[in-house]
């Protein structure tokens, strides 16, 4: 999957789940920059 395709899919997302033991920095950046305002996380 290309970055362009991934960005387009994220822009249309209705829900996103992040799992792991990280700091949540990726999720925070996605919420502020890429995901639609009505996306459920």
How much is the pTM?
0.44
Q: What is residue 17's predicted lDDT score, i.e. its pLDDT?
A: 76
The dihedral built from the CA positions of residue 5, 32, 18 and 39, taken in this order, carries a sign that is negative
For residue range 19-39, list pLDDT tens digits in order.
888 788 877 777 777 777 777
* Nearest to 18, CA basis, from 32, 37, 31, 5: 31
SS3 of residue 40 by DSSP = strand
Tokens of 13: 């997302």
Tokens of 11: 């822009």
Q: What is residue 20's predicted lDDT score, i.e. its pLDDT?
A: 81
Q: What is residue 23's predicted lDDT score, i.e. its pLDDT?
A: 81
Distance CA 23, CA 18 (A): 11
> Residues 13, 35: contact at Cβ < 8 Å?
yes
């Amino acid at each position: 999957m290309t970055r362009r395709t991934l960005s387009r899919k994220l822009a249309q997302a209705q829900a996103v789940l992040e799992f792991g033991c990280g700091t949540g920095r990726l999720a925070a950046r996605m919420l502020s920059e890429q995901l639609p305002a009505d996306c459920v996380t």
